[in-house]
Structure formats: structure tokens, C-alpha cells
Chain A
Amino acid sequence: MEFKDYYATLGVPRTATEDEIKRAYRKLARKYHPDVSKEPDAEVRFKALGEAYKVLKTAESRAAYDRMGSDWKAGQDFQPPPNWDAGFEFGGAGGADGAGYAGNEKSFSDLFESLFGKGAGPSQQHRRSESSRGEDHHAKVMIDLEDAYLGAQRSISLQMPAFDSAGNLVNQLRTLNVSIPKGVRAGQRLRLVGQGSPGASGMAAGAGDLYLEIVFKPHAGFRVDKRDVYLDLPVSPWEATLGATVTVPMPDGAVQLSVPAASTGGRKLRLKGKGIPSHPPGDLYAVLNIALPPADTEAAKAAYREMEVAFDFDPRAHLKG
């Protein structure tokens, strides 16, 4: 397994005080919290921070980790020395749990699990007396914008805590085939009744629910704002000036759009009801972007010169006093 340098993860020296470790964790946790952060690898970084802090925040687990020595480099292949954990018992659980990131990745590294046991990870705290009912789980599912237009069927893999036959809590890889309904929007949740943790009695009826948060993969052509969709539509100067009917690619096909004469760059043309087909459907906006043809041939250069002669056009007339 790979050695993890928990001190490097938190950016503190091995001699850091408890306060320094806490401060470093807090600062980085605010920066990389997946609900707040705009960093692309926030979720991975945040999990690594959580694991590092969990080990280093208490004197006992930090001492056990330090006992493995300081010569290891992150990423190095590693086996814990025998009796590394003598005199130390890792009791508590916390960190990630059902309502956290029951995401598509493991919550804890191999190193962490070998040191502290798998059960030290996701906790199954039953908060309510009635909760012989299984826990609800939350996970993210990445879909294409096209899926929201057309509906889709996706196979998704989730790491979910479950009890094995011996009654131990283990992380199980579950694959679910899910229908993504047409009209779904980013940030919405899809509730799958009974697909959370099984109830304590193993009865299907007591199973928790699974909530899938919908996230759109970034799209090269379209921008999404709630239920409305925006598209930069390049048009030639003559199409914009004289008017034209142009073909607009849509996530669910293509439509003909009439560009009115005398359109200027940045003009928004609305295609009512052509946004995400939720209830009510959003609109699609084509934002005109006037593209100049390059003057890369003699004929093209001649055409530009003819325009110069044909127009008495001063684009900076309004700047003159």
C-alpha cells in the first residue's frame, strides 16, 4: 500500500503543535470543502485532509502514526511495522458518514484502513430510537446535458457502507442501474426509495433511501443557468446584417433559427421552451457572436478593400469630441 505523509497533506512540520495542526486543517478544509470550493480536485483533497487530520488531531493516534518513523516518503510502498499500534486503541468514529460523501470513491486510503480498521471509517450512528430503519445515503452522479434533454439510463458505482455476514461494517461497491428522468436540473436530487442502507432487521421495508445529486459535466458548447441554456452562436457579418436562417445545434438535435436583419454582436435570440425540458421548460438563448472571415487570399483582401470603398464607415465616430 502507499505511505501517506499526513504532515505534508496538512502542510505542517512533524514538530507542529496541536494548535498548529488544527489551524492548518481548518484553513485547508475551508479552502477545499466540496460544497464551498471551486477547485477541481476539491473532493479528493478534502478527503485526504480529513484522513490526515483524523490521525494527527489526537495525541494517541498521532503518536501511533509517528512510531512508524519519519523516513517514509508519500507514495512509497509501505507495510506497517509489527506492533506499531501497541498500547493504542483506536476507538472513535466520525468524519464521513451516510449523509456525507457516500461518493464514487473510497473515503479512506488503504494506509488508513490498515492502521485503524475499516470500521473506523463511515460511522453508522443510529440517532433516533425508531431508526431500525436503514440510513439514507447521498451521492453525486455526473450526467451530460443531453441526458437532461432526452432522459438516460446510467449504470453508477457507489461505495456504500454495509454489514457483511459476520455483522462487520464494510464498504461495499454497489452498481446501480438508474433511469435519469428527462428535465432534471443540476443540483437537484433524485430520490431512490429503499436504495439506502438496509434496515436493522434486514427487512426491505426498513431500508433507507438513496439520494443522487445531479451534476452536469461541463459542456463545450452550452452553458446552463438553472433551467435556461445559453449558446454562443457564431454568425458571419452578412448573416447578422442582412438576416439569415441558420442551423443551431441543440442537445437534442438541431433547430432552424432565423437571425433578424441588422443584428449586432451579443444580441440574444430566445428559443422559448427549448431549454431544459422541466416543468415549466426553460428557454434556450443563442448569443450572437459575429465572426470575421480571415483575409487569407488575394480575393478576400480585395473584398475587404471593396467594403472599405463601399462604406463610409467610422466605427469610432462616437469617440470623437
Chain B
Amino acid sequence: MRGARLTVDRGEVAVITGQSGSGKSSLLYCLAGVLPAERGQVRFEGRPLGDLDDEEISALRRERFGFVFQYGELLPELTVEENTALPLRLAGMRKKPALTAAGEVLERLGLGGLRERRPSQVSGGQCQRVAVARALVHRPAVVFADEPTGSLDSANADAVLKEFLELARSQGTAVVLVTHDPAVAAQADTHYTMSDGRLSAEGAQ
């Protein structure tokens, strides 16, 4: 991956598309501070991530970032409510207020009735909605989404994406979303394409 340059503002939805293996996920995890950049810099609120130690990066991911993965990656042993509350608990919030906050986000996404269920007891689309709730429950500055609708059928994918972006925008949360589905790009404020490790801006929608 080389020559990648992008800026994402508060509340902005940036979508990176490209074919499988083009390097878009690597870029996403590089932006999130998970993979180190060999050259160049990733800055968050003006501060280079390369200057932060592991503890500081972890704290950033815990408190300021959110993640949505292709298959949700919910913990099967936790209930929907507990999964959603996990970022708050990791950030040190007590159990009761964390569960209350999680319940509110779940209500907004229409999942209030599933609180006590386990991931194996809900559908794939519902799992992915729970993953969205988990990514946004602590009101992060940025959410990094790696193929968030890749495992869903088109109807479910559209619905989940719509709810996800609505909720993010209402919270003023920036979203960096990578996908190989060009249709998703239609929802973006900014659209980038990745090809052979090179990033090019397609322009604002």
C-alpha cells in the first residue's frame, strides 16, 4: 500500500471500495492504529498515532474508536445487551449504567426485545445490528467498519447500513467503511477506491 492520503472529518462517512486483496482492510487497520505504517503518518485529532505506546493506542480504541466487523464477532457467551455494553465496560464503566446505556442504543435500533438473548438465538442481520450498536454505544469519534454488510443479503444489508449511518451521523461520529460492494459507496460523503495498493479519491457525493 503506498500513496494513500485521506482526511476524515467529524460526522463524515468515508467509504473505501476495491476488489478483494486490494489492501483496503490493511488501510483500515492502519488508520485504526492496529497495523503500523512503515512510512508516513496517521494522525488522530492532530496527534500522530506512531507516537503513542501500546497502552495509549488501546485506550484510544477503547474510548474514541468503534469497530464493526464483517461477521459481527459478538461473543457467543454474552447476551446481546452484554455484548453491546462491552466497550463501556472495557472503558471502566460500572455494570448497571453500562447495561442501561446499551439498552438505549438497542432500543433505537429496534432490538430492545432481544436484550437477554445470546447471539446464537438471533438472526444474522440482527447480529450485525448488535455489532453496530456495540460500535456506537460509547459515542466514539470514529467507527471503522470492515465489510459490515458483507455477510448479509441485500435487503438486510441495506437496512443495517442505513441504520448504522443514521445513528453515526446523529452522534457526530465519523465512519471509515471498507467494502467491495460499489453500491455501498452511494451512501458515502466521500468515496475512495483502492487498487493495487493505491488509493484514489472519487469525490464527494
Q: Do A and B come from one complex?
A: no
